[in-house]
Amino acid sequence: MKRPQPRGPEAGVDARRAALRILDRVVRSGQTMDSAVQGLKLEPSDQGLALAIAGETLRRLPLLDRLIDGATRQVLPDDAKARMVLRLALAQRIALNVPDHALVATALPLVEGGPRRLVHGVLGTLLRGTLPDADEGALPAAVEERWTAAWGDEAVDAARRAIVRRPPLDLSFRSHEEATAFAEAEGGISLAERHVRLADARSVTALPGFAEGRWWVQDLSSTLPARMIPTDAARVLDACAAPGGKTLQIAAAGHATTALDRSESRLARLRQNLARTGLDAEIAVADVLGYTPGEPFDAVLLDAPCSATGTFRRHPEVLLRASERIIRESAELQGRLLIAAAGWVRPGGTLVYAVCSLEPQEGEDIIAAFLASRADYTLAEQRRVLPGELEEQGGMDGFFTARLVRGA
């Protein structure tokens, strides 16, 4: 995929300054990339470049820090401006092939009132040496330790490769015939029913069929939970539904669909996509823990809020936020949500549980605890997507999905 390139040292300072602000908000304040971008007033080209620089920096943060620490004896705090600027500059050299003179010319103005000599010296030392290749990745130490214990070295190696590769664009279609025709016309591949993958992440709204609502953007992994819903399930509830990709899947499959979420603002996007695609679903604005349906459903899908560590290919900053405390608190909430959702399934019906997490505490452990407490449910199917799956075709987000059946 083509990345935004600077127009020259002077023209690129504003974009770098914005990238520095984004990185600071993410690293120091714990914001997501999406929220960190809010409020930035830039020309579209500068905003694209700022996002590219900040994103490539976040994909390589542990690797960049090792380089910086090896080139200076001075201790630089994690959120020090000098370290932030050095991270940005090195990421541009490694991932975006920005010339050395442009890196120096655009980095030093960012350290106004700070240690310009230190930044200049460390940057010069590193640029004169041998830097890693663009495809060399690393994960935060705590993440590597957790995932090595849970999934082994092979999965961690695959995650290191995946984090520095921008993922492809996955689309879900209303019908498989439409997906097949689109793939042939646009040079995409279909890896599942009603799915198309494009290697180039082009402008979504400019793609054929967007305005007509023929498809919606949805990572292949996130389509797996809705695929576990039995075809003969007449009434289906999508709990924690926003932003709504699974709701659209369920409705497109012909089920009478109810979408439940407590966030009216997040449901706005689902309403827009329902209108664009011409699909139909009943919207219920309520908290899962306080919701009471009028009658049980044939199937309930609970895509529970989680640490989201499985989405690190698209959102590398999640690995900085996903502490043991966050994972523990998320798992506690997931257990409560699953118990609530289990009460809405009719006897003989199906309960699907899913999280976009690579933490077993939020997946396998939740299901084991649930089954130990609910003798009326049995595990029918379980699917864990790890880094490395379909790697040659562009990979998949980390995901866990389980299908449970309630006894009649």
Sheet holding 169-173, edge to edge: 195-198, 169-173, 215-217
How deeply is 205 buried, as exposed, middle or buried, from its count of CB atoms within 10 A (0-12, 13-18, 19+)? exposed
Q: Which residues pair with 303 in a beta bridge?
A: 354
CA distance 161 to 243: 28
Query: Catalytic residue among 356, 366, 386, 402, which?
Result: 356
How deeply is 4 buried, as exposed, middle or buried, from its count of CB atoms within 10 A (0-12, 13-18, 19+)? middle
- Which pairs from 193-199 meet CB under 8 Å and 24+ separation? 193/227, 194/223, 194/249, 194/252, 195/170, 195/171, 195/220, 195/223, 196/170, 196/171, 197/168, 197/169, 197/170, 197/171, 197/393, 197/394, 198/168, 198/169, 198/170, 198/171, 199/1, 199/168, 199/394
| CA 372 to each of CA 208, 375, 378, 405: distance values in angstroms, whole numbers, following the listed order | 49, 7, 10, 14
Biggest alpha carbon–alpha carbon distance for the chain: 73
Of 406, 394, 402, nearest to 344 (Cα)?
A: 406
Sign of the alpha-carbon dihedral angle for 24, 48, 105, 96: positive
Is 356 a known active-site residue? yes
Of 283, 265, 284, nearest to 274 (Cα)?
A: 283
What would you report as the CA-atom Rg of the chain, rounded to the nearest whole angstrom? 23
Asked if residues 121 and 76 have their Cβ atoms less than 8 Å apart, the reply is: no
CA distance 185 to 168: 17
CA distance 185 to 214: 14
Of 84, 107, 79, nearest to 6 (Cα)?
A: 107
CA distance 88 to 23: 9
Asked if residues 258 and 235 have their Cβ atoms less than 8 Å apart, the reply is: yes
Write out the catalytic residue numbers.
356
